[in-house]
Amino acid sequence: MAAPRSLQVRYRRYRPAVPVARAKARAVADEWYLSQHIADSLEWVVAELVTNAVIHGRATRGSHVVVAYHLDDGLLRVEVRDTADGLPRLLSPAPPDREIPLSGRGLRIVASLADSWGVTPRVIGKSVWAEWAVATRESAQEKRSHAR
């Protein structure tokens, strides 16, 4: 069984942090030997959640966004924490004769890519998290070697 892994990365709360956070999510997925499917999902989810924290969060100037990754016992969890007030929510679907509003699409993407997601209020701010059941390439190799 692979040892648990954790990583926290702190970003300034401004738009250029989004592509940096997205690239870091891909690097973490590669370093932790996650499948291509999970790596793609993780990359998109981190980009959406950091974008939401940067654009929609009302926080003090110079505040930060923290992205925390945790992999343990076949469960990958990513949390994006900020100090902004308000809790994000998934908007109800648009009627068939209307377009999906520009705002609110990010959480739909998160909901469609992650196995589960949610929001945890904190004393200051909140954490928006997403989880996936995963089998890393490392654990798949380990299973194959035990089967022999």
The per-residue pLDDT string of the chain (148 residues; one tens digit each, 9 = 90 and over) reads 578 999 999 999 889 999 999 999 999 999 999 999 999 999 999 999 999 888 877 666 678 999 999 999 999 999 999 887 777 766 655 555 544 444 567 888 999 999 999 999 988 888 999 999 997 555 555 554 545 5
Q: What is the DSSP letter of 90?
A: P
- The whole-angstrom separation of Cα 34 and Cα 136 is 5
Q: How high is the pLDDT of residue 141?
A: 54
Q: How high is the pLDDT of residue 148?
A: 54
Q: Give the distance between the most distant pair of CA atoms in the chain.
A: 57
Q: Which backbone phi and psi does 106 adopt, to 5 degrees? A: -60, -45
Q: How high is the pLDDT of residue 124?
A: 85
Q: How high is the pLDDT of residue 142?
A: 56
Break the chain into its structural domains and give their ranges. Answer: 5-140
Q: How high is the pLDDT of residue 110?
A: 92
Q: Which backbone phi and psi does 85 adopt, to 5 degrees? A: -75, 165
Strands across the sheet containing 64-72 = 5-12, 64-72, 75-82, 126-133, 116-121
Torsion angle of the four alpha carbons 1, 135, 79, 105, in this order, in degrees rounded to the nearest 10: -170
Name the pTM for this structure.
0.82
Q: How high is the pLDDT of residue 102?
A: 43
Assign domain 5-140 one CATH number from 3.40.50.1370, 3.30.565.10, 2.70.98.40, 3.40.50.300: 3.30.565.10
